[in-house]
Amino acid sequence: MQRETSQTTIPFWRDERVLKVLGQIAFVILVGLFFSVIFRNMMTGLAKQGITLSLGFLRGVSGFDIAETLFPYDRNSTYLQAYQIGLLNTLLVSVVGIFFATILGVVLGVARLSTNFIINRLAAFYLELIRNLSLLVFLIFWYLGVFLKLPKVKEAIIWTGNIFLSNRGVGIPWGIPTASFPTFRLILLFGFILALIVFFSLRAYSQRTGRAPLTLLWTLLTFLLVAAAGWILLPEKPLAIDLPRVQGLRLTGGKILTPEFMALTSGLTLYTAAFIGEVVRAGIQSVSKGQVEAARALGLNGFQTLRLVVFPQALRVIVPPLTSQYLNLIKNSSLAISVGYPDVFYVSNTIQNQTGRAVEMIGMVMLTYLAFSLITSLLMNWYNKKIKLVER
């Protein structure tokens, strides 16, 4: 007690609380000065060469073609449009990659814990092999070693009559919207709303009674039922199925997935899935054995134990590292340049090279990846907060 009262009299330069604050302020100033030096250095250097920073060049005509575009683009489009094409391509690869990597990762994680010796060993072999490869090497293997080794267009492997495998790409059947498609879209919207109603009423029911119905399953079934009903009842099918075929030098019809896209997505998916598999395994193993034994003692069956006891608890452990795997996948997609897939980094490289605007383009790309990663983090953190243990 005596010491505490005497503390009020010590001079501020020996007061730990004041010093801590001062230390932080000094640190911020130092960091600020450091970056201002770097920035001014760059500006001086650029000024010496008569280069000024501006984004006006983005409105200029690009003059180059891009192989894969999600919306119309040609050589008369602007650099900004070229950048947007790249942005969407990165987004596409990331979303597709995350979707499949998650499914495969969960399967691998569960398989790794299987009591079946062969499944268990196979999963372990896959995880250990893939996790210890370099992603760049892995991508180039998929590109040069797999997708470009497929036969030529004219000798394409035709799988079940509808899937074409060739070194110009993989052709799959694809739907083309017909006249009734707008109506079908409305039906889908209706199905979505109905599914939401089912979801929320089942959840309310669960909270009221303490029972645990298969909420997600019923929600999905509702949506699918409405969609199927719409598909069957509409006089004209909303989507005409277009099959791929060989025409001259190329595959046409259906949807042609280029070797670059296939190599990049399969490489990223299979690579990230291995890491997700380990995350899932760790999550499941983190649930103590007592929980499972208690669940079985209460009379829950194996599936119920997994769904109601193990998984909700495992998820708390899984989600944070899963988030960083998702971020890795997004950032790793910039390796697209090694297999010639026009993602945002690739396109920005081309723009930088044709215009000489290195600083601006690098800045834009950095901001783009930062934004992608922050948005993903935000979503995953929100989800994490929702599922985490509420302590009372």
Exactly one of 59, 149, 245, 388 binds another protein (CB under 8 A); which one? Answer: 149
Output the smallest distance, CB 240 to another protein, in A. 23
Stretch of 82-90, 128-136, 148-156, 190-198 lying at the interface with another protein (CB under 8 A)? 148-156
Among 4, 6, 8, 50, binds another protein (CB under 8 A): 50
Contact positions with another protein (CB under 8 A) in 200-229: none
- Taking CB under 8 A as the binding criterion, the range among 41-49, 108-116, 185-193, 268-276 that sits at the site for another protein is 41-49
What the block records as the tokens of 289 is: 């054995």
Q: Establish if 83 lies at the interface with another protein (CB under 8 A).
A: no
Residues 6 or more apart from 226 whose CB is under 8 A from it?
187, 188, 190, 191, 194, 195
Smallest distance from another protein to CB 66, Å: 7
Considering the rule CB under 8 A, would residue 35 count as an interface residue with another protein?
no
Query: Does position 99 bind another protein by CB under 8 A?
Result: no
CB of 184 to another protein, least distance (A): 31
Distance of CA 384 to the CA centre of its chain: 17
d(CA 9, CA 7): 5
| Total residues at interface with another protein (CB under 8 A) | 53
Quick one: which of 271, 327, 268, 318 has its CA closest to 129?
Answer: 271
Q: Which of 33, 214, 225, 240 binds another protein (CB under 8 A)?
A: 33
Q: How far apart are the first and last CA of the chain?
A: 34
Out of 116, 247, 288, 301, point to the residue binding another protein (CB under 8 A).
247
**Backbone φ and ψ of 181, nearest 5°:** -60, -40
Q: Binding marks (x or -) toward another protein, 351..390, rule CB under 8 A? A: -xxxxx-x--------------------------------
- Per 3-state DSSP, the chain is made up of helix, strand and coil in percentages (nearest 5) of 70, 10, 20
Residue 53 interacts with another protein (CB under 8 A)? no
Applying CB under 8 A, does 188 fall inside the site for another protein? no
| Token duo for residue 115 | 């009591």
| 154 sits near another protein (criterion: CB under 8 A) | no
Q: Do 153 and 265 meet the contact criterion of CB atoms below 8 Å apart? A: no
| Rounded-to-integer distance, Cα 257 and Cα 277, Å | 27
Write out 332-378 in H/E/C secondary structure.
HHHHHHHHCCCCHHHHHHHHHHHHCCHHHHHHHHHHHHHHHHHHHHH
- The sheet with strand 169-172 has its strands ordered as 157-159, 163-166, 169-172, 255-257
Tell how many helices (H) and how many strands (E) occur in the chain. 13, 8
Shortest separation between residue 271's beta carbon and another protein, angstroms: 20
> Does 349 contact another protein by CB under 8 A?
yes
Look at the alpha carbons of 241, 244, 245, 250 in this order and tell me if their dihedral is positive or negative. positive
Query: Considering only 22-30, 125-133, 203-211, 309-317, which stretch makes contact with another protein by CB under 8 A?
Result: 22-30
Say whether residue 337 binds another protein (CB under 8 A).
yes
User: What are the tokens at 331?
Assistant: 């950032």
Q: Does 26 bind another protein (CB under 8 A)?
A: yes
Q: By the criterion CB under 8 A, which residues form the site for another protein?
A: 16, 19-20, 23, 26-27, 30, 33-34, 36-38, 40-42, 44-45, 48-51, 63-67, 74-75, 144, 148-149, 152, 167-168, 247-250, 259-260, 337-338, 340, 342, 346, 349-350, 352-356, 358
